[in-house]
Amino acid sequence: AQKVTQAQTEISVVEKEDVTLDCVYETRDTTYYLFWYKQPPSGELVFLIRRNSFDEQNEISGRYSWNFQKSTSSFNFTITASQVVDSAVYFCALSEARAGGSYIPTFGRGTSLIVHP
Amino acid sequence: NAGVTQTPKFQVLKTGQSMTLQCAQDMNHEYMSWYRQDPGMGLRLIHYSVGAGITDQGEVPNGYNVSRSTTEDFPLRLLSAAPSQTSVYFCASSSTGSEQYFGPGTRLTVT
């Protein structure tokens, strides 16, 4: 079973629409970290946000917001008033203690967001 | 700070050839890792290291070797390249709980 599930393979919206990217994770640990990354067409991986398991506060950064719910093991990402520049592949990742205690993240398969003008 | 650097950016190999992908970081991070990215598969962990002299396998380690003799460097060796290893390879570094700092990637084609 995947530890990080991004069920939406591709989402297509028209500019100015709001869009939510879903992320469901699986862990038995009480201490873990969740991340979102953006990969624009140029290919680099851009860090967006980190959340630790003890901080369920939602976060807003400009047009971006994140909803972390431990009760449903979800860490969803919403873009408000989407723009063409938001077109990218978005990855959710989970970092939990591996054997030996290291924290190296496992990534979901990504959601490709296409924003049409 | 250069961050995480990877060389080469592009490489074409013939089946059976060997090569080393280089990765270096200048942030004194204890963790370094290699991922491969294939269409529809996300980023899959190949090998990782928690410090100089310590490495471990990720989810897809077969056909790859790593070593970490210094904190800064973490090369990935392909022993005998196969077409199935055609992919984009990303090196990353981090510390406990921090985000991954990724290199720019190496696009490898094996013919």
Taking the C-alpha atoms of residue A101 and residue B29, their distance in angstroms, rounded to an integer, is 16
Secondary structure of chain A as H, E, C letters? CCCEECCCCEEEEECCCCEEECCEECCCCCCEEEEEEEECCCCCCEEEEEEECCCCCCEEECCEEEEEEHHHCEEEEEECCCCHHHCEEEEEEEEEECCCCCECCEECCCEEEEEEC
The reply to whether residue A104 touches residue B33, judged by beta carbons under 8 angstroms, is: yes
The reply to whether residue A106 touches residue B56, judged by beta carbons under 8 angstroms, is: no
A101 — pLDDT class (breaks 50, 70, 90): confident
Q: Considering chain B, what is the average pLDDT of its residues?
A: 95
Residue B39 at interface with chain A, using a CB cutoff of 8 Å: no
**Mean pLDDT value of segment B11-27:** 97
Strand pairing category for A46-52 and B76-78: unpaired
Taking a contact as any Cβ pair under 8 Å apart, which residues of chain A between 55 and 74 contact chain B? none
Q: Spell out a b/e string for B18-44, using b for 16 or more CB atoms within 10 Å of the CB, else e.
A: eeebebbbeeebebbbbbbbeeeebbb
Encode pLDDT of B71-89 as tens digits. 999 999 999 999 999 999 9
Residue B42 at interface with chain A, using a CB cutoff of 8 Å: yes
Residue in chain A lying closest to B94 (CA):
A104
Q: Say yes or no to pLDDT of B42 above 60.
A: yes
Burial of A115 (0-12, 13-18, 19+ CB in 10 A): buried
Question: In 3D, which of B37, B27, B51, B40 has the Cα closest to residue B100?
Answer: B27
Q: Say yes or no to pLDDT of A1 above 70.
A: no
The pLDDT, as a whole number, for residue A72 is: 95
Residue B93 at interface with chain A, using a CB cutoff of 8 Å: no
B2 — pLDDT class (breaks 50, 70, 90): confident
Taking the C-alpha atoms of residue B104 and residue A47, their distance in angstroms, rounded to an integer, is 13
A15 — pLDDT class (breaks 50, 70, 90): very high
Residue in chain A lying closest to B100 (CA):
A47
Q: Which of B40, B56, B96 sits opposite A103 (nearest CB)?
A: B96
The reply to whether residue A104 touches residue B41, judged by beta carbons under 8 angstroms, is: no
**Mean pLDDT value of segment B5-34:** 96
What lies within 8 Å, CB to CB, of A53 at 6+ separation is A29, A30, A31, A32, A33, A34, A70
Q: Say yes or no to pLDDT of A83 above 60.
A: yes
The reply to whether residue A91 touches residue B42, judged by beta carbons under 8 angstroms, is: yes
Strand pairing category for B19-25 and B76-78: antiparallel
Encode pLDDT of B88-110 as tens digits. 999 999 987 778 999 999 999 99
The reply to whether residue B99 touches residue A44, judged by beta carbons under 8 angstroms, is: no
Maximum Cα–Cα distance across chain B: 39
The reply to whether residue A104 touches residue B40, judged by beta carbons under 8 angstroms, is: no
- B96 CB neighbours in chain A (<8 A) are 102-103
The pLDDT, as a whole number, for residue A21 is: 98
The reply to whether residue A109 touches residue B94, judged by beta carbons under 8 angstroms, is: no
Taking the C-alpha atoms of residue A107 and residue B103, their distance in angstroms, rounded to an integer, is 16
- A47 CB neighbours in chain B (<8 A) are 99-101
**Mean pLDDT value of segment A36-58:** 93
The pLDDT, as a whole number, for residue B37 is: 97
Taking the C-alpha atoms of residue B102 and residue B94, their distance in angstroms, rounded to an integer, is 9
The pLDDT, as a whole number, for residue A2 is: 63
